[in-house]
Amino acid sequence: MKHFFLIANRQNESAKILMQETAELIRRDPSCTVKEDPGSGPDGHTDPADVPSDTEGVIVFGGDGTIIRAVRDLKPLALPLIGVNAGTLGYLAETDPGSVADMVARLKNDRFFIEERMMLRGQILKAGAESDAPAYEDTGLNDVVLSGADGTRVVSFSVYVDGEFLKSYVADGLILATPTGSTAYNLSAGGPIVMPSAEMLLLTPLNAHTFMSRTIVLPGDCTVTVELAGKSGTNALVHFDGAVYPDLYPGDRVCIRRADEHARLIRLNRDSFTEILRKKLEN
């Protein structure tokens, strides 16, 4: 790997400095090229058009949120990414600032492997629409989350798996998480931790009004349809890795399935997730 594109969390001064230092390190090798993200995309996002066509790998400086944003922004390019943690310990970052020189050397000498992570695709289907075409669709590396629009009222959802009714929930919301997202909002809501190489969906209710409210683990190849019940009396929000679709009304449905695309994360050590998890569990 000789041609790199660098992205940093622009609200994190140490991440920006680290990106510049890494770019200078890479440029010392005349066989390598590197370009830093110019930040021309809207709202701090990366514009895929800014990535040179010969780019072989992307290095991201920041926390998990920055890495997830980079995955989403550069999804059309299917480039492998590696994260350098520039904040608190994250699950997706592969290395830390003190190991950047070693990381660059290993990337240049192709001493790494690429781990593919399952992503989700969600489609919004509006009630009474004249066609079956989705009104909106997006992808998520961590999760797709449904919640009440005003944050104070519970909402009613009906959940179907491959067209078969599963369960109705009256809750603050629902999380549909990937194995990667199992350590994010899903974990905070009491859901299980899943090894990221697994292929499955985790359905976790948020503060459901029932004595039996547990995560349901579903096959990775199923389709989950969540309908906002008419008795909700309120509209709902759909979050794709935090990006919000605000206009879900009673009768509307969200169809969630495994995306055709995968996130491609560069790994230097095959036990990296285990190591990160062990450190997290010690805190």
Contact 142, 249 (CB under 8 A): no
What CA–CA distances, in Å, run from 58 to 11, 37, 108, 148? 19, 10, 13, 36
Contact 82, 59 (CB under 8 A): yes
> Out of 37, 64, 143, 172, which one is annotated catalytic?
64
List, as one string, the DSSP characters of 250-273.
Answer: TT-EEEEEEEEEEEEEEES-TTHH
Q: Read off φ and ψ for residue 119, nearest 5 degrees.
A: -125, 165
Distance (Å, rounded) from C-alpha 157 to C-alpha 166?
Answer: 11
252 is catalytic: no
Query: Where are the alpha helices (H) located in the chain, listed in sequence order?
Result: 13-27, 64-73, 100-108, 185-188, 272-282
Contact 78, 114 (CB under 8 A): no
Contact 260, 118 (CB under 8 A): no
Which residues have CB under 8 Å from 143's CB, separation 6+? 120, 175, 176, 177, 178, 181, 184, 185, 186, 239, 241
Distance (Å, rounded) from C-alpha 34 to C-alpha 44?
Answer: 20
Contact 109, 245 (CB under 8 A): no
**Residues tagged active-site:** 64
